[in-house]
Amino acid sequence: MNTSLNSLLVVVLALNLFALGTSRMVTVIKIVSLQGILLGVMPLLVEESITLTAGMASTVAVLLKGLVIPAMLLRAIRDVHIKREIEPLIGFLPSMLLGALATGFALLFASSLPLAGEHTTPLLVSASLATIFTGFILLTMRAKAITQIMGYLVLENGIYIFGLLLVEAMPLVVELGVMLDLFVAIFVICIMVNHINKTFSSLDTRLMTSLKE
């Protein structure tokens, strides 16, 4: 059980670095989509036996994170005719190195955390921290509105990984509520992206500077 989970987590970590290093937006969306599918499958590997609730939560996660949300974002960038992230605030290679550094740090840090006995072996905690950090890099170091939202999704994925430790504490209602909120959030964001593009003729958030002290 642990070996298959660990290998999936390694793929997730590799996808983080890939997302940091590419400039093509469609690629980033596809990476996040793949990450979403992998995350959706994970709850089934964590539990000893597959229950109906776990199956449902997993199906919803795969559908939403892996298919629906990426489809919405792909549509949004097709509507505004944008393909590439322009030169980010820090370059693609440096941010990839930063991500690699963060991953290493997360691996070291997780081993010093006071974890419950059964959680010391799998990569879950360190993968969660590294993914959260990757999300932060994308969110703060990219200029285009859409890539910033990809950062938010990666951040949310990182938190989801941590949630795998606590499958029993989160009732299905809450889990579905979190997913529904994520879906509505992306829906609102897609509308906003359209408005931003219409108003500023670009998705470059650096153009938004009229509100300051």
Binding mask 102-141 for other proteins (x = CB under 8 A): ------------xxx---------------x------x--
Stretch that binds other proteins, among 10-18, 22-30, 65-73, 196-204 (CB under 8 A): 196-204
How many residues at the interface with other proteins, by CB under 8 A? 39
Tokens of 24: 């093509």
Of 71, 74, 70, the C-alpha closest to 83 is 74
DSSP three-state, residue 126: helix
CA distance readout (Å), 196 to 63, 173, 199, 200, 213:
28, 34, 5, 6, 22
Beta carbons within 8 Å of 27's beta carbon, 6+ residues apart? none
Residue with tokens 């997913």: 179
Residue 48 binds other proteins (CB under 8 A): no
Residue 208 binds other proteins (CB under 8 A): yes
Dihedral over Cα of 73, 74, 78, 82: its sign: positive
Stretch that binds other proteins, among 20-28, 46-54, 71-79, 185-193 (CB under 8 A): 185-193
Of 14, 113, 8, the C-alpha closest to 58 is 8
If the CB atoms of residues 97 and 162 are measured against other proteins, the closer one turns out to be: 162
Residue 148 binds other proteins (CB under 8 A): yes
Residue 56 binds other proteins (CB under 8 A): no
CA distance linking residue 65 with residue 132, whole number of Å = 16
Minimum gap (Å) between residue 213 Cβ and other proteins: 6
Helix, strand, coil percentages in the chain from 3-state DSSP, rounded to 5: 75, 0, 20
Binding mask 154-173 for other proteins (x = CB under 8 A): -xx--x--xx-xx-xxxx-x
Residue 205 binds other proteins (CB under 8 A): yes
What residues line the site for other proteins (CB under 8 A)? 114-116, 132, 139, 145, 148, 152, 155-156, 159, 162-163, 165-166, 168-171, 173-174, 177-178, 180-181, 184-185, 188-189, 192, 195-196, 199-200, 205, 208, 210-211, 213
